[in-house]
Structure 1
Amino acid sequence: MISQEQFEKEIEIIITNALREDIGDGDHSSLACIPISALGKAKLLVKDNGIIAGVEFAKHVFAKVDESLKVETLVEDGTPVKRGDIVFYVEGSSQSILKAERLVLNAMQRMSAIATKTNEFVKKLEGTKTKILDTRKTTPGIRALEKWAVKIGGGENHRFGLFDMIMLKDNHIDFAGGIDNAISKTKQYLKDKELDLKIIVEARNLDEIKQILACGGIYRILIDNFNFEDTVKAVNLIGDKCLTESSGGITLESVRKYAQCGVDYVSSGALTHSIYNLDLSLKAVD
């Protein structure tokens, strides 16, 4: 995964770009009717049930818009919330609060939905050794936010992008001329470039797992679209030679059964691409 410094840079880029996109040459609605000296206070109101996420991100946004804005946090990231709860108060320039409002809401609603969905998977896995992973099936431009939300919900992050881990999937293998070629070329590439990256290889059947194991030096085998019976066989075949990961259409209803097959990880794109925003609003306080 990326370093904390890289992650913070990603968050800064997201905030800068989002504010540029939304504010443009000025928030003319506020400028037209609210004095620049006006002070106000607003509350982040929960209108749904779930896991709250994005509180720390909201603080970054408010500070970017106006360092003088003060935030009083009542509920921390990762906390279960219900309709009617107040997450925080923000106080200061009315114009500044309104500039930050939409970005804060858009981000927190999506992040909270992802954290909520992730937490549902985490609960299904309780009592097993299996951990839930996200994927690269994220919204372009805000991957850092969505992966942050997965962590808040109790899940773990897969690689951040194409650059921080090697993952040889079916197309890589086919284009490279087979598993042996794909893995041997990858190992040579890493040696030539002096890169220290972990290698994950996708397997489509038990025979491919045998081929991957014969090559050695693999961090994790992705057991893709296997049924339960074959997943058990794959796990037994792999043993402690490397880590295991199940993926491919795994749902809340089936995730525990895959975990009971003995895999170390289950990855699901549904954590980030199949969610509905948690309903939140920022309301002025008299």
Structure 2
Amino acid sequence: MAKKNSKGVANNATDEVNKKSSLKIGRRQKFIVGILFIFFSLALLLSFISYFITGYADQSSVSQLTNRALSTENWLGKIGAFLADFFLYQGFGVTSFLFVRVLFLIGAYLVLDMSLLKLKKNFFWDGFLIIIGSILLGFLWDYVPQLGGVIGYEMNLFIQDYIGKTGTLLVLLFGILIFLVFKINVSPDTFTSIFEKSTKSFKEDLTAETSANPIIDANHSEDQNSTEDELPIVPLPNEEDDFLLTEDEEEISNIELKTYPNSFEINKEALKPTISNSSE
């Protein structure tokens, strides 16, 4: 009886191993499923891009998928219009493009026969960014409408009902800081360096302004000195010089010009009348 029991246990163990091995996906199945995920991600990308070009024209045809008479302008037809409306308008808005990234990574890892456990962090941070981004765009609905989607807009209103707009903004900023520090690996020293650079630049501007004023005054004084040097120097007259000048003027006034007779000149004495007594 003991031998029979041991054989029964061994048979059950082999059956369980065969079941587990049958449930495992082979290399070919992984490759096909990976290609399917990649193609689906590309289809989502094309439908999302086409939604921003022809999305408003397909609003009426989204709810009537079975009506073959209606035509859509989406690049992927009615299915593309439905997917774009579901993810972008009814869903998380522009951050839904991250779903394309997630699906593409899953397909690439399956095609390359890599473990999907390595994508845990990517799945977490992509989901975190999808939620935070949609709420942030919902918060900015008045400025950029329809980018946050219905889910982002409703989540924004739900949070504002409890902590208000300022509290919602602070929560969003805190979420962005978490993403920058833990995902992008922005060290806290970078934030402190930003404040240090701002203070240093402010001090440098102050020193530059204070040092610029005396330089301008010195340059102004140098220009004045240069203009004074360029002017002609006129010596002031002394009393002795004035005396000499007056004596010279007196001597020049006493000088008489002597004229000598010329052969061409007429003798005025010869023109006198020769008759001494005039006739009566």
Shared fold, TM over 0.5:
no
Tell me which structure has the larger Cα radius of gyration.
Answer: 2
Q: Which TM-score bucket, shorter chain as reference?
A: under 0.3
Higher helix proportion (structure 1 or 2): 2
When the two structures are superposed, what TM-score results if normalisation uses the length of structure 1?
A: 0.22
When normalised by structure 2's length, the TM-score is: 0.23
Structure ranking higher in strand proportion: 1
Structure having greater relative contact order (Cα 8 Å, sep ≥ 6): 1
